[in-house]
Structure 1
Protein backbone atom coordinates (compact mmCIF):
# COMPACT_ATOMS: atom_id res chain seq x y z
CA UNK A 1 0.00 0.00 0.00
CA UNK A 2 1.31 3.42 -0.93
CA UNK A 3 1.65 6.03 1.79
CA UNK A 4 2.81 9.59 2.05
CA UNK A 5 6.61 9.88 1.89
CA UNK A 6 6.74 12.21 4.92
CA UNK A 7 5.87 10.28 8.08
CA UNK A 8 4.60 12.23 11.09
CA UNK A 9 5.79 11.11 14.53
CA UNK A 10 7.11 7.89 13.09
CA UNK A 11 3.77 7.00 11.50
CA UNK A 12 2.86 6.89 7.84
CA UNK A 13 0.14 9.36 6.96
CA UNK A 14 -2.54 7.68 4.81
CA UNK A 15 -3.64 9.51 1.72
CA UNK A 16 -6.92 9.30 -0.12
CA UNK A 17 -4.88 8.80 -3.27
CA UNK A 18 -3.99 5.35 -1.93
CA UNK A 19 -7.63 4.36 -2.29
CA UNK A 20 -7.70 5.57 -5.88
CA UNK A 21 -4.53 3.62 -6.68
CA UNK A 22 -6.12 0.40 -5.43
CA UNK A 23 -9.28 0.71 -7.50
CA UNK A 24 -9.61 -1.45 -10.59
CA UNK A 25 -9.54 0.35 -13.91
CA UNK A 26 -12.80 1.93 -14.99
CA UNK A 27 -14.33 -0.03 -17.86
CA UNK A 28 -14.67 1.83 -21.10
CA UNK A 29 -17.85 2.05 -23.16
CA UNK A 30 -16.88 -0.75 -25.65
CA UNK A 31 -16.09 -3.10 -22.76
CA UNK A 32 -19.45 -2.38 -21.13
CA UNK A 33 -21.24 -3.11 -24.38
CA UNK A 34 -19.23 -6.29 -25.01
CA UNK A 35 -19.47 -7.77 -21.52
CA UNK A 36 -22.73 -7.52 -19.61
CA UNK A 37 -22.38 -6.86 -15.88
CA UNK A 38 -19.27 -4.67 -16.26
CA UNK A 39 -20.95 -1.30 -15.83
CA UNK A 40 -20.23 1.49 -13.38
CA UNK A 41 -22.26 -0.11 -10.59
CA UNK A 42 -20.36 -3.41 -10.91
CA UNK A 43 -17.10 -1.46 -10.86
CA UNK A 44 -18.10 0.29 -7.64
CA UNK A 45 -19.01 -3.04 -6.03
CA UNK A 46 -15.66 -4.51 -6.98
CA UNK A 47 -13.81 -1.45 -5.73
CA UNK A 48 -15.65 -1.54 -2.40
CA UNK A 49 -14.97 -5.25 -1.96
CA UNK A 50 -11.30 -4.93 -2.85
CA UNK A 51 -10.83 -2.01 -0.44
CA UNK A 52 -12.08 -4.15 2.47
CA UNK A 53 -9.81 -7.08 1.65
CA UNK A 54 -6.61 -7.56 3.64
CA UNK A 55 -4.16 -4.83 2.70
CA UNK A 56 -6.89 -2.58 1.32
CA UNK A 57 -7.33 1.07 2.26
CA UNK A 58 -10.52 0.73 4.30
CA UNK A 59 -9.30 -2.52 5.87
CA UNK A 60 -6.17 -0.86 7.23
CA UNK A 61 -8.13 2.15 8.50
CA UNK A 62 -10.45 -0.19 10.38
CA UNK A 63 -7.44 -1.98 11.87
CA UNK A 64 -6.06 1.36 13.07
CA UNK A 65 -9.39 2.18 14.74
CA UNK A 66 -9.45 -1.26 16.41
CA UNK A 67 -5.86 -0.89 17.68
CA UNK A 68 -6.50 2.64 18.97
CA UNK A 69 -8.53 1.23 21.88
CA UNK A 70 -5.44 -0.44 23.33
CA UNK A 71 -2.84 2.20 22.40
CA UNK A 72 -1.68 5.44 23.99
CA UNK A 73 -2.32 8.84 22.46
CA UNK A 74 1.10 8.98 20.82
CA UNK A 75 0.64 5.57 19.20
CA UNK A 76 -2.78 6.35 17.69
CA UNK A 77 -2.93 7.10 13.98
CA UNK A 78 -2.72 10.79 13.09
CA UNK A 79 -6.03 10.87 11.22
CA UNK A 80 -7.81 9.47 14.31
CA UNK A 81 -6.24 12.21 16.45
CA UNK A 82 -7.38 14.89 14.01
CA UNK A 83 -10.92 13.50 13.91
CA UNK A 84 -11.08 13.28 17.72
CA UNK A 85 -9.81 16.85 18.17
CA UNK A 86 -12.23 18.20 15.59
CA UNK A 87 -15.16 16.38 17.18
CA UNK A 88 -14.17 17.54 20.68
CA UNK A 89 -13.83 21.16 19.62
CA UNK A 90 -17.18 21.04 17.83
CA UNK A 91 -18.83 19.61 20.96
CA UNK A 92 -17.29 22.31 23.17
CA UNK A 93 -18.47 25.08 20.84
CA UNK A 94 -21.96 23.57 20.77
CA UNK A 95 -22.09 23.31 24.58
CA UNK A 96 -20.85 26.89 25.06
CA UNK A 97 -23.41 28.19 22.59
CA UNK A 98 -26.22 26.30 24.33
CA UNK A 99 -25.07 27.43 27.78
CA UNK A 100 -24.95 31.03 26.57
CA UNK A 101 -28.52 30.83 25.28
CA UNK A 102 -29.74 29.28 28.55
CA UNK A 103 -27.98 31.89 30.69
CA UNK A 104 -29.30 34.72 28.53
CA UNK A 105 -32.86 33.42 28.76
CA UNK A 106 -32.56 32.96 32.54
CA UNK A 107 -31.24 36.49 33.08
CA UNK A 108 -33.98 37.97 30.91
CA UNK A 109 -36.60 36.01 32.84
CA UNK A 110 -35.24 37.16 36.19
CA UNK A 111 -35.01 40.77 35.06
CA UNK A 112 -38.63 40.72 33.81
CA UNK A 113 -39.96 39.84 37.28
CA UNK A 114 -40.79 42.93 39.36
CA UNK A 115 -38.54 43.23 42.37
CA UNK A 116 -41.41 43.59 44.88
CA UNK A 117 -44.01 41.28 43.38
CA UNK A 118 -45.21 38.10 45.00
CA UNK A 119 -43.00 38.47 48.06
CA UNK A 120 -45.66 38.59 50.75
CA UNK A 121 -46.70 35.00 50.26
CA UNK A 122 -46.55 32.53 53.09
CA UNK A 123 -43.81 30.05 53.74
CA UNK A 124 -40.20 30.34 54.90
CA UNK A 125 -38.93 31.45 51.49
CA UNK A 126 -41.39 34.32 51.27
CA UNK A 127 -40.37 35.48 54.74
CA UNK A 128 -36.73 35.62 53.65
CA UNK A 129 -37.18 36.73 50.04
CA UNK A 130 -39.58 39.61 50.49
CA UNK A 131 -37.32 41.76 52.74
CA UNK A 132 -34.50 41.33 50.25
CA UNK A 133 -36.73 42.53 47.40
CA UNK A 134 -37.88 45.54 49.45
CA UNK A 135 -34.33 46.46 50.45
CA UNK A 136 -33.04 46.25 46.88
CA UNK A 137 -35.98 48.28 45.56
CA UNK A 138 -35.30 51.04 48.12
CA UNK A 139 -31.61 51.14 47.29
CA UNK A 140 -32.19 51.09 43.52
CA UNK A 141 -34.18 54.33 43.84
CA UNK A 142 -30.88 56.09 44.60
CA UNK A 143 -28.89 54.27 41.90
CA UNK A 144 -28.95 54.21 38.13
CA UNK A 145 -29.99 50.54 37.99
CA UNK A 146 -33.33 48.75 37.94
CA UNK A 147 -34.45 46.87 41.08
CA UNK A 148 -35.00 43.72 39.01
CA UNK A 149 -31.38 43.83 37.85
CA UNK A 150 -30.13 44.03 41.45
CA UNK A 151 -32.38 41.16 42.45
CA UNK A 152 -31.20 39.04 39.49
CA UNK A 153 -27.57 39.75 40.39
CA UNK A 154 -28.25 38.75 44.01
CA UNK A 155 -29.77 35.45 42.91
CA UNK A 156 -26.97 34.75 40.42
CA UNK A 157 -24.32 35.40 43.07
CA UNK A 158 -25.95 32.96 45.45
CA UNK A 159 -26.28 30.30 42.77
CA UNK A 160 -22.67 30.60 41.63
CA UNK A 161 -21.42 30.60 45.21
CA UNK A 162 -23.44 27.48 46.04
CA UNK A 163 -22.40 25.51 42.95
CA UNK A 164 -18.80 26.69 42.93
CA UNK A 165 -18.42 26.07 46.66
CA UNK A 166 -19.78 22.54 46.25
CA UNK A 167 -17.07 21.96 43.61
CA UNK A 168 -14.41 23.21 46.04
CA UNK A 169 -13.57 26.57 44.46
CA UNK A 170 -12.08 28.93 47.08
CA UNK A 171 -13.30 32.12 45.38
CA UNK A 172 -16.85 30.75 45.15
CA UNK A 173 -16.82 29.91 48.85
CA UNK A 174 -15.73 33.45 49.71
CA UNK A 175 -18.56 34.77 47.51
CA UNK A 176 -20.98 32.43 49.31
CA UNK A 177 -19.93 33.76 52.72
CA UNK A 178 -20.31 37.37 51.59
CA UNK A 179 -23.68 36.50 50.01
CA UNK A 180 -24.95 35.08 53.29
CA UNK A 181 -23.70 37.97 55.42
CA UNK A 182 -25.14 40.54 53.01
CA UNK A 183 -28.47 38.73 52.83
CA UNK A 184 -28.78 38.65 56.63
CA UNK A 185 -27.99 42.36 56.80
CA UNK A 186 -30.62 43.19 54.15
CA UNK A 187 -33.27 41.05 55.90
CA UNK A 188 -32.53 42.65 59.27
CA UNK A 189 -32.79 46.12 57.76
CA UNK A 190 -35.98 45.65 55.70
CA UNK A 191 -37.99 43.15 57.74
CA UNK A 192 -40.89 44.47 59.87
CA UNK A 193 -39.82 45.50 63.36
CA UNK A 194 -42.07 42.95 65.06
CA UNK A 195 -40.71 39.96 63.11
CA UNK A 196 -37.18 41.17 62.37
CA UNK A 197 -35.44 38.73 64.68
CA UNK A 198 -37.51 35.77 63.49
CA UNK A 199 -36.96 36.56 59.80
CA UNK A 200 -33.23 37.02 60.29
CA UNK A 201 -32.93 33.84 62.36
CA UNK A 202 -34.87 31.84 59.79
CA UNK A 203 -32.62 33.19 57.03
CA UNK A 204 -29.54 32.25 59.05
CA UNK A 205 -30.81 28.69 59.47
CA UNK A 206 -31.57 28.34 55.75
CA UNK A 207 -28.14 29.74 54.87
CA UNK A 208 -26.48 27.32 57.33
CA UNK A 209 -28.28 24.34 55.79
CA UNK A 210 -27.24 25.42 52.29
CA UNK A 211 -23.67 25.89 53.55
CA UNK A 212 -23.50 22.14 54.18
CA UNK A 213 -23.20 21.75 50.41
CA UNK A 214 -21.42 25.03 49.60
CA UNK A 215 -18.68 24.49 52.22
CA UNK A 216 -18.42 20.73 51.77
CA UNK A 217 -15.06 19.41 52.98
CA UNK A 218 -14.00 22.66 54.66
CA UNK A 219 -12.45 22.13 58.11
CA UNK A 220 -11.05 24.46 60.76
CA UNK A 221 -8.61 21.91 62.15
CA UNK A 222 -4.96 22.63 61.42
CA UNK A 223 -3.39 20.24 58.99
CA UNK A 224 -0.22 18.71 60.40
CA UNK A 225 2.16 17.04 57.99
CA UNK A 226 4.46 14.51 59.65
CA UNK A 227 7.30 14.07 57.23
CA UNK A 228 10.66 12.58 58.19
CA UNK A 229 13.53 15.09 58.02
CA UNK A 230 15.28 15.13 54.72
CA UNK A 231 18.67 15.74 56.29
CA UNK A 232 19.99 13.83 59.33
CA UNK A 233 22.95 15.04 61.40
CA UNK A 234 25.18 12.27 62.69
CA UNK A 235 28.03 13.69 64.83
CA UNK A 236 31.27 11.79 64.46
CA UNK A 237 34.88 12.50 65.51
CA UNK A 238 37.61 11.66 63.02
CA UNK A 239 41.26 11.55 64.24
CA UNK A 240 44.07 11.48 61.71
CA UNK A 241 47.39 10.29 63.20
CA UNK A 242 50.63 10.14 61.21
CA UNK A 243 52.89 7.25 62.25
CA UNK A 244 56.64 7.23 61.38
CA UNK A 245 57.85 4.63 58.96
CA UNK A 246 59.44 1.63 60.70
CA UNK A 247 63.24 1.29 60.55
CA UNK A 248 64.46 -1.81 58.68
CA UNK A 249 66.01 -4.49 60.90
CA UNK A 250 69.84 -4.59 61.00
CA UNK A 251 70.22 -1.01 59.86
CA UNK A 252 70.82 0.61 63.27
CA UNK A 253 74.09 2.23 62.23
CA UNK A 254 72.35 4.41 59.68
CA UNK A 255 72.90 4.77 55.96
CA UNK A 256 76.31 6.49 56.34
CA UNK A 257 78.02 3.81 58.50
CA UNK A 258 80.11 0.93 57.18
CA UNK A 259 79.34 -2.48 58.54
CA UNK A 260 82.40 -4.36 59.89
CA UNK A 261 83.51 -7.35 57.97
CA UNK A 262 82.61 -10.53 59.72
CA UNK A 263 84.24 -13.86 59.10
Structure 2
Protein backbone atom coordinates (compact mmCIF):
# COMPACT_ATOMS: atom_id res chain seq x y z
CA UNK A 1 0.00 0.00 0.00
CA UNK A 2 1.44 3.35 -1.00
CA UNK A 3 1.47 6.34 1.33
CA UNK A 4 1.67 8.88 -1.48
CA UNK A 5 -0.75 11.75 -1.11
CA UNK A 6 -2.11 13.74 -4.03
CA UNK A 7 -0.25 16.97 -4.55
CA UNK A 8 -2.21 20.04 -5.58
CA UNK A 9 -0.38 21.86 -8.31
CA UNK A 10 -1.52 25.40 -9.11
CA UNK A 11 -1.37 26.00 -12.81
CA UNK A 12 -0.67 29.57 -13.96
CA UNK A 13 -3.81 31.31 -15.07
CA UNK A 14 -4.16 33.91 -17.77
CA UNK A 15 -4.01 37.43 -16.43
CA UNK A 16 -7.32 39.13 -16.04
CA UNK A 17 -7.69 41.57 -18.97
CA UNK A 18 -10.81 43.24 -17.63
CA UNK A 19 -9.02 45.89 -15.53
CA UNK A 20 -6.74 46.78 -18.46
CA UNK A 21 -9.64 47.18 -20.88
CA UNK A 22 -11.48 49.17 -18.27
CA UNK A 23 -8.58 51.61 -17.96
CA UNK A 24 -8.32 51.93 -21.74
CA UNK A 25 -12.05 52.54 -22.02
CA UNK A 26 -11.90 55.15 -19.28
CA UNK A 27 -8.97 56.92 -20.98
CA UNK A 28 -10.80 56.88 -24.33
CA UNK A 29 -13.95 58.32 -22.82
CA UNK A 30 -11.97 60.98 -20.96
CA UNK A 31 -10.19 62.01 -24.18
CA UNK A 32 -13.53 62.47 -25.97
CA UNK A 33 -15.24 64.17 -23.05
CA UNK A 34 -15.64 67.94 -23.12
CA UNK A 35 -12.23 69.45 -22.45
CA UNK A 36 -10.36 66.26 -23.45
CA UNK A 37 -7.51 66.00 -25.96
CA UNK A 38 -9.47 64.35 -28.78
CA UNK A 39 -12.43 66.62 -28.14
CA UNK A 40 -10.30 69.72 -28.78
CA UNK A 41 -8.72 68.19 -31.89
CA UNK A 42 -12.14 67.38 -33.33
CA UNK A 43 -13.33 70.92 -32.60
CA UNK A 44 -10.28 72.27 -34.47
CA UNK A 45 -11.16 70.16 -37.51
CA UNK A 46 -14.84 71.04 -37.37
CA UNK A 47 -14.21 74.79 -37.16
CA UNK A 48 -11.39 74.86 -39.74
CA UNK A 49 -13.66 75.48 -42.74
CA UNK A 50 -15.17 78.56 -41.10
CA UNK A 51 -12.09 79.94 -39.34
CA UNK A 52 -9.97 80.80 -42.39
CA UNK A 53 -6.22 80.36 -42.69
CA UNK A 54 -5.32 82.63 -39.80
CA UNK A 55 -7.87 81.04 -37.50
CA UNK A 56 -6.98 77.41 -38.25
CA UNK A 57 -5.11 75.52 -35.54
CA UNK A 58 -1.33 75.37 -35.99
CA UNK A 59 -1.23 71.57 -36.02
CA UNK A 60 -3.70 71.54 -38.93
CA UNK A 61 -1.55 74.04 -40.84
CA UNK A 62 1.57 71.94 -40.27
CA UNK A 63 -0.22 68.76 -41.36
CA UNK A 64 -1.56 70.42 -44.52
CA UNK A 65 1.81 71.90 -45.45
CA UNK A 66 3.56 68.57 -44.89
CA UNK A 67 1.00 66.71 -47.01
CA UNK A 68 1.27 69.34 -49.76
CA UNK A 69 5.08 69.13 -49.75
CA UNK A 70 4.95 65.33 -50.03
CA UNK A 71 2.45 65.55 -52.89
CA UNK A 72 4.60 68.14 -54.68
CA UNK A 73 7.69 65.93 -54.37
CA UNK A 74 5.81 62.95 -55.79
CA UNK A 75 4.43 65.04 -58.68
CA UNK A 76 7.86 66.48 -59.51
CA UNK A 77 9.43 63.03 -59.43
CA UNK A 78 6.71 61.68 -61.74
CA UNK A 79 7.01 64.65 -64.08
CA UNK A 80 10.78 64.16 -64.20
CA UNK A 81 10.36 60.50 -65.18
CA UNK A 82 7.83 61.40 -67.87
CA UNK A 83 10.04 64.17 -69.29
CA UNK A 84 13.07 61.88 -69.28
CA UNK A 85 11.18 59.15 -71.12
CA UNK A 86 9.86 61.67 -73.66
CA UNK A 87 13.32 63.09 -74.34
CA UNK A 88 14.74 59.60 -74.76
CA UNK A 89 11.94 58.80 -77.21
CA UNK A 90 12.64 61.96 -79.18
CA UNK A 91 16.37 61.23 -79.31
CA UNK A 92 15.69 57.72 -80.61
CA UNK A 93 13.41 58.94 -83.41
CA UNK A 94 14.21 57.78 -86.93
CA UNK A 95 15.83 60.03 -89.49
CA UNK A 96 13.83 62.99 -90.72
CA UNK A 97 12.35 62.51 -94.16
CA UNK A 98 12.18 65.28 -96.68
CA UNK A 99 8.39 65.31 -96.61
CA UNK A 100 6.01 66.41 -99.31
CA UNK A 101 6.90 69.80 -100.76
CA UNK A 102 3.56 70.22 -102.52
CA UNK A 103 0.47 71.97 -101.25
CA UNK A 104 0.09 74.92 -98.91
CA UNK A 105 1.30 73.09 -95.81
CA UNK A 106 4.18 71.47 -97.70
CA UNK A 107 5.33 74.90 -98.89
CA UNK A 108 5.79 75.93 -95.27
CA UNK A 109 6.72 72.61 -93.69
CA UNK A 110 9.28 71.41 -96.24
CA UNK A 111 11.71 74.37 -95.77
CA UNK A 112 11.57 73.87 -92.00
CA UNK A 113 12.44 70.18 -92.38
CA UNK A 114 15.30 71.02 -94.72
CA UNK A 115 16.65 73.73 -92.42
CA UNK A 116 16.56 71.46 -89.35
CA UNK A 117 18.27 68.66 -91.27
CA UNK A 118 21.08 71.02 -92.28
CA UNK A 119 21.56 72.33 -88.75
CA UNK A 120 21.39 68.89 -87.11
CA UNK A 121 24.51 67.85 -89.07
CA UNK A 122 26.52 70.19 -86.80
CA UNK A 123 24.76 69.19 -83.56
CA UNK A 124 24.71 66.07 -81.39
CA UNK A 125 21.01 65.49 -82.07
CA UNK A 126 19.03 63.88 -84.87
CA UNK A 127 16.97 65.97 -87.30
CA UNK A 128 13.85 64.07 -86.24
CA UNK A 129 14.42 65.12 -82.61
CA UNK A 130 14.70 68.77 -83.63
CA UNK A 131 11.57 68.57 -85.75
CA UNK A 132 9.61 66.85 -82.99
CA UNK A 133 10.73 69.44 -80.46
CA UNK A 134 9.70 72.21 -82.85
CA UNK A 135 6.23 70.65 -83.16
CA UNK A 136 5.83 70.18 -79.39
CA UNK A 137 6.93 73.77 -78.69
CA UNK A 138 4.39 75.14 -81.16
CA UNK A 139 1.60 72.96 -79.78
CA UNK A 140 2.30 73.97 -76.19
CA UNK A 141 2.45 77.63 -77.17
CA UNK A 142 -0.87 77.35 -79.00
CA UNK A 143 -2.68 75.56 -76.17
CA UNK A 144 -1.12 77.63 -73.38
CA UNK A 145 -1.79 80.86 -75.25
CA UNK A 146 -5.43 79.90 -75.70
CA UNK A 147 -5.60 79.29 -71.94
CA UNK A 148 -4.28 82.82 -71.32
CA UNK A 149 -0.80 81.94 -70.02
CA UNK A 150 1.61 84.82 -70.60
CA UNK A 151 4.70 82.60 -70.84
CA UNK A 152 3.03 80.37 -73.43
CA UNK A 153 2.12 83.40 -75.51
CA UNK A 154 5.72 84.61 -75.45
CA UNK A 155 6.84 81.13 -76.51
CA UNK A 156 4.27 81.19 -79.32
CA UNK A 157 5.59 84.51 -80.62
CA UNK A 158 9.19 83.28 -80.51
CA UNK A 159 8.18 80.03 -82.20
CA UNK A 160 6.46 81.92 -85.00
CA UNK A 161 9.39 84.25 -85.57
CA UNK A 162 11.80 81.30 -85.64
CA UNK A 163 9.56 79.42 -88.08
CA UNK A 164 9.45 82.40 -90.43
CA UNK A 165 13.22 82.70 -90.30
CA UNK A 166 13.64 78.99 -91.16
CA UNK A 167 11.19 79.25 -94.06
CA UNK A 168 12.99 82.31 -95.41
CA UNK A 169 16.39 80.66 -95.10
CA UNK A 170 15.58 77.25 -96.64
CA UNK A 171 13.04 78.20 -99.32
CA UNK A 172 14.13 78.41 -102.98
CA UNK A 173 15.34 81.85 -103.95
CA UNK A 174 12.62 82.35 -106.53
CA UNK A 175 9.71 81.65 -104.17
CA UNK A 176 11.27 82.74 -100.88
CA UNK A 177 9.09 85.80 -100.46
CA UNK A 178 5.87 83.97 -101.29
CA UNK A 179 6.69 81.04 -98.98
CA UNK A 180 7.55 83.35 -96.09
CA UNK A 181 4.42 85.41 -96.65
CA UNK A 182 2.28 82.28 -96.72
CA UNK A 183 3.89 81.09 -93.49
CA UNK A 184 3.28 84.47 -91.86
CA UNK A 185 -0.38 84.37 -92.92
CA UNK A 186 -0.86 80.86 -91.52
CA UNK A 187 0.86 81.86 -88.29
CA UNK A 188 -1.37 84.94 -88.01
CA UNK A 189 -4.49 82.83 -88.43
CA UNK A 190 -3.31 80.43 -85.74
CA UNK A 191 -2.52 83.40 -83.52
CA UNK A 192 -6.24 84.18 -83.39
CA UNK A 193 -6.53 81.14 -81.18
CA UNK A 194 -3.24 81.46 -79.32
CA UNK A 195 -3.64 85.17 -78.52
CA UNK A 196 -7.35 85.05 -77.75
CA UNK A 197 -8.40 87.94 -75.53
CA UNK A 198 -5.10 89.81 -75.83
CA UNK A 199 -5.60 93.56 -76.12
CA UNK A 200 -2.99 96.22 -76.88
CA UNK A 201 -5.08 99.02 -75.41
CA UNK A 202 -3.61 100.50 -72.25
CA UNK A 203 -5.59 99.75 -69.15
CA UNK A 204 -6.62 102.92 -67.37
CA UNK A 205 -7.49 102.68 -63.71
CA UNK A 206 -9.65 105.48 -62.39
CA UNK A 207 -9.04 106.06 -58.74
CA UNK A 208 -11.38 108.37 -56.83
CA UNK A 209 -9.22 110.72 -54.86
CA UNK A 210 -9.91 110.97 -51.19
CA UNK A 211 -11.40 114.26 -50.08
CA UNK A 212 -8.79 116.78 -49.02
CA UNK A 213 -8.96 117.58 -45.36
CA UNK A 214 -9.95 121.13 -44.81
CA UNK A 215 -9.67 122.58 -41.35
CA UNK A 216 -12.84 124.01 -39.93
CA UNK A 217 -12.66 127.49 -38.47
CA UNK A 218 -15.13 128.60 -35.85
CA UNK A 219 -14.54 132.23 -35.01
CA UNK A 220 -15.79 132.83 -31.51
CA UNK A 221 -15.68 136.01 -29.51
CA UNK A 222 -15.01 135.64 -25.82
CA UNK A 223 -15.89 138.61 -23.67
CA UNK A 224 -14.65 138.76 -20.14
CA UNK A 225 -16.50 141.19 -17.92
CA UNK A 226 -14.89 142.42 -14.75
CA UNK A 227 -17.00 143.85 -11.96
CA UNK A 228 -15.82 147.11 -10.48
CA UNK A 229 -14.36 147.07 -7.02
CA UNK A 230 -16.79 148.36 -4.41
CA UNK A 231 -15.70 151.52 -2.79
CA UNK A 232 -14.08 151.24 0.55
CA UNK A 233 -12.82 147.62 0.27
CA UNK A 234 -9.38 148.39 -1.09
CA UNK A 235 -6.64 145.86 -1.81
CA UNK A 236 -7.97 143.14 0.51
CA UNK A 237 -11.06 142.71 -1.64
CA UNK A 238 -8.89 142.43 -4.79
CA UNK A 239 -6.85 139.65 -3.24
CA UNK A 240 -9.93 137.71 -2.24
CA UNK A 241 -11.48 138.20 -5.68
CA UNK A 242 -8.36 136.89 -7.48
CA UNK A 243 -8.25 133.89 -5.16
CA UNK A 244 -11.85 133.00 -5.97
CA UNK A 245 -11.20 133.28 -9.68
CA UNK A 246 -8.44 130.70 -9.43
TM-score normalised by the shorter chain: which range applies?
0.5 to 0.7
- Equivalent residue for 1:82? 62
Unmatched runs of 5 consecutive residues or more in structure 1: 1-28, 233-263
Given that residues 32 and 39 in structure 1 are in contact (C-alpha distance below 8 angstroms), is that contact kept between their aligned partners in structure 2?
no
TM value normalised by structure 1 = 0.58
Unmatched runs of 5 consecutive residues or more in structure 2: 1-11, 213-246
TM value normalised by structure 2 = 0.62
Given that residues 115 and 137 in structure 1 are in contact (C-alpha distance below 8 angstroms), is that contact kept between their aligned partners in structure 2?
no
Residues in 1 aligned to 2:104 and 2:91: alpha-carbon distance in whole angstroms: 23
Q: 1:61 to 1:222 in 2, by over 3 A?
A: closer
Structure with max Cα Rg: 2
Q: Does 1:91 align with 2:71?
A: yes
Residues in 2 aligned to 1:223 and 1:75: alpha-carbon distance in whole angstroms: 37
Give how far 1:183 is off: 1.1
User: How many equivalent pairs are there?
Assistant: 201
Deviation string, structure 1 residues 2-24 (Cα, Å, up to 9, x no partner): xxxxxxxxxxxxxxxxxxxxxxx
Give how far 1:110 is off: 2.2
After superposition, the CA RMSD in angstroms is 3.9
Q: 1:31 to 1:75 in 2, by over 3 A?
A: farther
1:72 to 52, 55, 58: 52
Give how far 1:74 is off: 2.3
Name the one with the larger helix percent: 2
1:60 to 36, 40, 45: 40
